Structure 1
Amino acid sequence: MENKLTIWLLCMISATLLSCSAEDQKTLDFSEAIILISPQITSPLKETAGTILVEEIEKRTGTSLKVNREWDSNTRIALVLASGTSLFGKAIPFRKGSGAPERQKEGYRIFHESSEAGNTLWVIGADARGIFYGIGKLLRTARLSKGKINLDAGFEFSESPQYALRGHQFGYRNTANSWDAWTVGQFDQHFREQVLFGANAFENIPFQKVNSSPHFKVDPQVMEVELSKICEKYGADYWVWTPAPRDLSEPGAYQEGLEKQKDFYARCPRLNAVFVPGGDPGENHPSDLIPYLEDLSKILKEYHPEAGIWVSLQGFNKEKVSYFFDYLEKHSPDWLKGVVYGPSSPPIALERELLPEKYMHRFYPDITHTVRCHYPVENWDQAFALTLGREPCNPQPEMYKRLFQRDSPHTDGFITYSDGTHDDVNKVIWSQLGWDPGKDPATILAEYTRFFFGAEVGEEAARGIFALEENWDGPILENPAIEKTLALWKRLEVAYPQLSGNWRWQQLLMRAYYDAYIRDRLAFEKSLEAEAYEILAQADSIGADQAMFEALQQLQKADTEPVSQDLKEKVLTYGEMLFQSVGAQTSVEKYRASGAERGAILDFIDYPLNNRWWLEDEFDKIRNFESEAEKLARLDFIRTYEYPGEGSFYDNISSADARHVTSKTDDAIGFLWENNGTSRKRLSTQLFQFTPTLDYDELDPESDYLIRVSGFGEALLRANGQRLTPTRYEKGYEEFKEFPLPRELISEGKLKISFDKPDEEHLNWRQQSRVTDVWVIKQ
């Protein structure tokens, strides 16, 4: 095994400076480089290292560097991969002491040295992986352009990773929104790029059926082995995510699960870890799951002696969690390598505390989703949630740095949860933070854009990525960043047409156009709804039926007189380009996405951003009322739904512009998903919190108030800490609970509303109680 050797990677570059004067000697030119590869590096890593450097430089410069097998006195630039103290008679300048990064596992050092023989750039790697990480840093740092390969003279950099495990999940399956359309070559290139940014592990999801995706170009049973080979080629760990049969107690399920795994293990040339989720999916009690895992480990060891079994406690209740950790405490099994923390696991700090030290703790963070997920987009406008959905292009460097620094210290590293290409920036952010959690996202993105887009565009493109994250911060109509972001990306689009075929470029541009289109639609459709309510206010004089007719005509202008169709056309164009370039499935009907939640952002681009669907349905009900008085009363209620009158307050709990809400959506699953995302309920009903908090400081202590709540299920409301008794308590959607507010509780004019969480652990989150709207109504 390569990692058992002390292998030193050296990249030695003897270069002629571009300028001869000492004052101007700032840039090294190695456009005529010759690469020297040490014979001590064993295959396949020896061939892989040289291939990476030659191919990646040639793609960006058009220059094909040559590889030599011996030292050449005429060599102006040499990349040397070596072990030992010398190479071809040249002494290797190792630093003394064991604390240097290049002496730590996977670490490396790059530095420029000037001598009479020329200028030398050394890249020293601690082991086989250090070779690739050193090459990655060189490629991310050098300024590569047509015919030019430049690096600053005096350059020096060294690092070793803080986290042992740094990987990403790449499930070759239909539910991924792009990968099921990939070839082996595309995976090879992508894994290479991830390694060059510091990743050391990849996790596949095997056992997919041949006909399970219309996009498969390779039999999934062939691909799952090919991915193993690619990992071996790049020295990366190959993981697999393989749930146990849903019910191990069913006759034959236990043995069938073992046999299925055994066949797969036998076919894989490389396999380092098997992750069996305890839940999501899986409903097995640990008393059934643990024996299965133990038997699985025996089969795994037959074919891959160094591989380990991992398990998560996702979906475990308190009894299951106690059973599992009691088992570890009593039996201390050696067959278990570690525990994976994922969504719906016990709290991450508690899980680490309960886990005996002999076991590793792997993080399984969800960096791919925006709603109904582990990490919600913070302060996201509802209009984006309704249209962009769960899997849009979602670069969030600042948010993920905060979350990484908060949660990762409880773990030994991570393999992120991903389901497509849309989170590409997030993968690089996590990989690089795995090396140095304090690394500035600006530095990471500068290297990302330089590597993938070129040195000349890198700096401005990096600003554009930060701008896309800023687009999502707060209420859309109060965010001036959206217009500026589009202007920036439009300039880049025009200035660098050569990047039009680059899928990373395409999806960033698509997001900029999409965000701007939603902004324009939201402003227009909100104005239409406001005008419709003005018409309803005239219902007493023009009649209920006429008011509804005219209000609907106004609302329907969203379809008959749509705005900003030029922006929409650009989005659709990039959707087609992304399908052609990287298989991105942005529509169920057009591109055969596996489902509406799986990146199908084009299917929701015109989803109503006002309540016109709800109003249409309400008007249909009202027309059947027996009396005009009933019709007028209901229309007045609808018109004043969000406007309860002077001295009263209303909040859509999950709206980014809610005035009084101080809590965040609990865990970003607060999005009512029904009818494949085309719910006709009020917009406020479609986002929720389980236990929101609200603060008010403008109440009149001399007045009586009624607190009204809408949502679903229970609402255990407290006012300034005191549980209130309801006088009305309906539990359905768009029904109401009402709580008289005792005047003595607001003697200072201040009110804090909170909700106790009911005991609903036995319910799936979709059936648990939630709050959508809160009114404080002055009587």
Structure 2
Amino acid sequence: MRSRLFCSVACGVVFIATMTHGAEYESVTIRVGAEADSVELKVAELLQQRIAEPSGLPTRVERTAGDGPTNSLLILLGIPAHHSELQKQLEDDQIPALTQRDPGPEGFLVKMLADNDVLLAAGVDQRGVLYAAGEILRQLDIKEKSVEIPDTLDVRTAPAFAIRGTQYGQSGVAKKLAKVRDWTPAETQRVILDYALAGANTFSTGPGPMFDFIKSFGLMTQGGFGANTGPGPPEWNAKESIGRIGYLCLSVPEARTAQLKRCEDQFRSSPTYDFVKFHGGDGGGCECDLCDPYGLKFIKLVEKMAAIIHKYHPTTKIYFTNQKFDNADDNAIFEYLQEQPRDWLWGWGYGPGSDATSWQPGHRQTHRMDLFRYPGFGPYGLYPREILRQLPPRHQLVYYNEITHWRYAQHAYIQMYPRADRDGELPPRTSGHEIYERRPDQGLTMVYDRLTFYAWPRFYHRVFNDLMRYGVGDITHSSGHHDHFNQWMWQRLLWAPRTSVEDVVDEYCQTWFGREAAPLMAEAIFQLEENLEEAPATPLIEKEGIDRNFILVSQAKDEIPEIHLRNNWLWRLFMQKAALDKYTQLAVRQQTELQTGIENSISKALAGGDVAAAIDHSLANLDALAESAEMALLREEAGKLGEESNALFGVRNEGYFNLKHDFIGLGWLRRQLEQAKQANGTDQVELLKMIVDYENPGPGGFYDNLGTNNRAPHVVKGYPYDHGQPYVSMMLSEGNRPSQRSMHFTQDESKGVTLKYHDLDPNARYRVRFTFVRPWYQSRYAERMNQKSQTILADDLVLAEDQPLPERMSEFFTFDIPQTATRDGELTIQLRKAKDVANGPRVEREQWRNSGGWGTLVSEVWLMKQDD
């Protein structure tokens, strides 16, 4: 057994001990107290099952001492007051009693008495016993015919946060795209217990068997109710921020009455939850004038609903989330809470869209710019600190953090740069602006869904430490089981927040892959996080980390004992991810090499070769593009692993079914060649020159690539376009080059995207070329998206009135600049929205803007100096 460091927290002090070799035992006996309650007995049975599971190691549970097998590890498990033998052992060894202050509520002691082969596992309370079992399972090295435990094991600890929870279940993406089987009830229970053994104490659930199962282990439950969601006639519909249905206007008396009745009907017959969450709604309420400020309408209705719940369940703690509320909504709630004691309310919930100091997808419409004056540690912690400052002391701040999506989410890659809010505000260039510069690798993001298998140790460790110091805990948002590492790490940090990210990853890997494989898997997890991020200086085809991750996970297989490997669905998920990443890299490299070959062939033809033959040869090469032998092997390996992981635990990487893509815009290249084949003379040459030297504006010219983090030095107005909704592959054709797919835009401003040029030749003539393309919208957004054209101006001269923009596939548009516009050596190119865009009632304009509306839109601009 190799040595490692492990941390425990007691009374706020971190103790570091070194794990050394321990004795091996051929069997295990778990002895509970004569007065053990039902939870202690269930924990003992759980521990027995988990120890025996890998190899059938003889493991039994007993209440009183009996004639046990020789060379057996004896575990005294339970609450000392219920276990006289455990209590006596603590006294004989002069071990301080476990109390609510030392180590604290839900705490435990796990201590090995090597001299007499006894392991003490004492819990302060019921949950403390469960967490003691979790610590034992993390420390044991279960082998084929024995179990080894460090003889120096001595952990006395309690959780740092009172609320430690999550959601559980399979995602719709896993079922639909990854084609996984349904979990059995036993598998769902296992997932719950895996997180509980890591330290979780609260689970979001509905009434029924899983509620009863969770409570049977002494754990807490959270229910929920949508104060503003429910059925009703059209006249009750809210003016939801992006126009979604299913939300009700709380200013309609009949809607309020119906919601109160629905609340009564639900909670009259429901079990008693420890917590009930009233979510503000993913849409953030109603935008109509009668609901302004919506936050006040919402909180007053929640107060009435809380009274209903407390009538039937007086011990239930009530909290709400301010998801996507704006500043006025939040301020109205602050004032309401400060007016008089609101004893019915336990806490303020902080979830996706709740943050008033970061521009994350979901488009909170206003931001607290005043909080950036002295930004401290950066954007994530600014608003929680402000909420806590304004909350009356009786209320808690609890989190509903989103660590389940790898892009387009609260703490994920934001996909593209944030748009200006309703006040025209964008995030300051200081105070953590780097969170907006993080982007997903543009090749990998085409293969993997928003709900894909991933692990983010370093970034989420940073997010945790920025946020959690202001709250009492977290019941995280999880949309499936693809976020396994993130959720597990979160529970461990909620227990011991000072733990380093290296130690958390090391513990995770030892727990799930064994001590020998842990170093390889830990390195692989850190490498995986690095691979996912776009590195402008290192494109995907040059990322050595892709191969490194593949090798590390492959090598780890040989270090995982067979008894653990045969059912290890998690290692198979990591291996699938490694194989699919490598496949994607090879596919992008193959396409890039093909494009380079075509460019070289056309270049030689333009220099004096056979142009027609070069075009035909290039088109033939595009037709012949096929999966390489190495790619096929990787795909087959990922497929086999996916079948195994699905059979073992109903999990699989959906990327396996989504590997065929035009990653670099070969569709544009094909179209350019086909057009050149039909053209003659200078038109043909012009088309082919763009293939060879795409960005070149010619002598004295300028090129601007308008997108996120692209070089666009002449842009003075506009900001990168984020598509306005979660990334949908159909919105733009993959046949576009990457530079054509990203763009700058403006919303409802009267002046659109603007470029300004200086030091032009006053005697020269100039032409301007644009790349234009507009996105396709899903049906729920399309009805309000009437923008299809824009006007183009050079200074104040109209170059094109209501110039149409093609949908999905880009085209070039070229215009001569009147020499009067450049005679002073300067030029302003400006776009203006169509006259019928972003007009009408305020609410309709807001819904248009929030769901991705654009007024002007442009991908690329060439200003070209014409030959004399």
Give TM class, smaller chain.
0.7 to 0.9
SS at match of 2:440: coil
For residue 414 of structure 1, what is the aligned residue in structure 2? 474
SS at match of 2:852: helix
What is the alpha-carbon distance in structure 2 between the residues aligned to residue 656 and residue 185 of structure 1? 50
What is the alpha-carbon distance in structure 1 between the residues aligned to residue 688 and residue 469 of structure 2? 55
Change (3 A) 1:563 1:53: closer
Alignment of 1:322-333 (within 5 A): 322-333=331-342
Give the counterpart of 1:312 among 285, 306, 321: 321
| TM-superposed deviation, 1:85 | 9.7
Instruction: Say if 2:663 is the partner of 1:609.
Output: yes
Alignment of 1:50-199 (within 5 A): 50-71=44-65, 77-84=74-81, 87-88=84-85, 90-93=88-91, 96=96, 102-113=102-113, 118-170=116-168, 174=172, 177=175, 181-199=182-200
Change (3 A) 1:71 1:384: same
Alignment of 1:670-709 (within 5 A): 672-675=727-730, 679-686=734-741
For residue 212 of structure 1, what is the aligned residue in structure 2? none
| TM-superposed deviation, 1:101 | 7.2
What is the alpha-carbon distance in structure 2 between the residues aligned to residue 160 and residue 666 of structure 1? 47
Change (3 A) 1:491 1:182: same
Alignment of 1:514-533 (within 5 A): 514-533=580-599
SS at match of 2:642: helix
Instruction: Say if 2:339 is the partner of 1:339.
Output: no
For residue 41 of structure 2, what is the aligned residue in structure 1? 47
Render the CA deviation track for 1:150-199: whole Å, top value 9, x for unaligned: 11112222322222222222256746658982222111111111111111
| TM-superposed deviation, 1:132 | 1.2
Equivalent pair of 1:277/1:312 in contact (CA under 8 Å) = yes
What is the alpha-carbon distance in structure 1 between the residues aligned to residue 571 and residue 862 of structure 2? 48
Equivalent pair of 2:204/2:221 in contact (CA under 8 Å) = yes
For residue 7 of structure 2, what is the aligned residue in structure 1? none
TM-score, normalised by the number of residues in structure 1:
0.76
What is the alpha-carbon distance in structure 2 between the residues aligned to residue 379 and residue 439 of structure 1? 27
Equivalent pair of 2:107/2:157 in contact (CA under 8 Å) = yes
The amino acid across from 2:345 in the alignment is L
For residue 277 of structure 2, what is the aligned residue in structure 1? 275
| TM-superposed deviation, 1:321 | 2.6
| TM-superposed deviation, 1:379 | 4.7
Equivalent pair of 1:524/1:563 in contact (CA under 8 Å) = no
Q: How many residues align?
A: 689
SS at match of 1:139: helix
What is the alpha-carbon distance in structure 2 between the residues aligned to residue 726 and residue 104 of structure 1? 72
What is the alpha-carbon distance in structure 2 between the residues aligned to residue 125 and residue 167 of structure 1? 20
Q: Which runs of 5+ in 1 are unaligned?
A: 1-23, 207-223, 587-599, 692-699, 714-723, 745-757
SS at match of 1:462: helix
Moved more, 407-416 or 256-265: 256-265
For residue 437 of structure 1, what is the aligned residue in structure 2? 497
The amino acid across from 2:81 in the alignment is G
Aligned-pair identity in percent equals 21
Render the CA deviation track for 1:517-542: whole Å, top value 9, x for unaligned: 11111111112122333345446978
Equivalent pair of 2:31/2:61 in contact (CA under 8 Å) = yes
Instruction: Say if 2:631 is the partner of 1:564.
Output: yes
Q: What is the root-mean-square deviation of aligned Cα atoms in Å?
A: 4.5
Alignment of 1:368-767 (within 5 A): 368-377=404-413, 378-473=438-533, 474=535, 475-493=539-557, 499-537=565-603, 538=605, 549-559=616-626, 564-584=631-651, 600-616=654-670, 629-637=682-690, 639-644=692-697, 653-654=707-708, 672-675=727-730, 679-686=734-741, 763-764=849-850, 766-767=852-853
For residue 360 of structure 1, what is the aligned residue in structure 2? 396
What is the alpha-carbon distance in structure 2 between the residues aligned to residue 34 and residue 547 of structure 1? 78
Alignment of 1:195-274 (within 5 A): 195-204=196-205, 224-243=207-226, 244-245=228-229, 246-249=247-250, 253-266=255-268, 268-274=270-276
What is the alpha-carbon distance in structure 1 between the residues aligned to residue 96 and residue 222 of structure 2? 36
Change (3 A) 1:614 1:228: farther
Equivalent pair of 1:703/1:778 in contact (CA under 8 Å) = no
| TM-superposed deviation, 1:689 | 8.0
| TM-superposed deviation, 1:229 | 1.4
| TM-superposed deviation, 1:98 | 9.0
The amino acid across from 1:34 in the alignment is T
SS at match of 1:529: helix
SS at match of 2:478: coil
SS at match of 1:33: strand
What is the alpha-carbon distance in structure 2 between the residues aligned to residue 307 and residue 660 of structure 1? 58
Give the counterpart of 1:289 among 292, 298, 308: 298
Change (3 A) 1:634 1:487: same
What is the alpha-carbon distance in structure 2 between the residues aligned to residue 65 and residue 324 of structure 1? 55
| TM-superposed deviation, 1:288 | 3.6
What is the alpha-carbon distance in structure 1 between the residues aligned to residue 745 and residue 109 of structure 2? 50
SS at match of 1:122: strand
| TM-superposed deviation, 1:371 | 1.9
Equivalent pair of 1:101/1:159 in contact (CA under 8 Å) = no
Change (3 A) 1:420 1:138: same
The amino acid across from 1:581 in the alignment is L
What is the alpha-carbon distance in structure 2 between the residues aligned to residue 97 and residue 32 of structure 1? 29
Change (3 A) 1:323 1:634: farther
Equivalent pair of 1:61/1:149 in contact (CA under 8 Å) = no
The amino acid across from 2:131 in the alignment is Y
SS at match of 2:661: coil
| TM-superposed deviation, 1:399 | 1.9
Change (3 A) 1:99 1:53: closer
| TM-superposed deviation, 1:370 | 1.8
Moved more, 616-625 or 229-238: 616-625
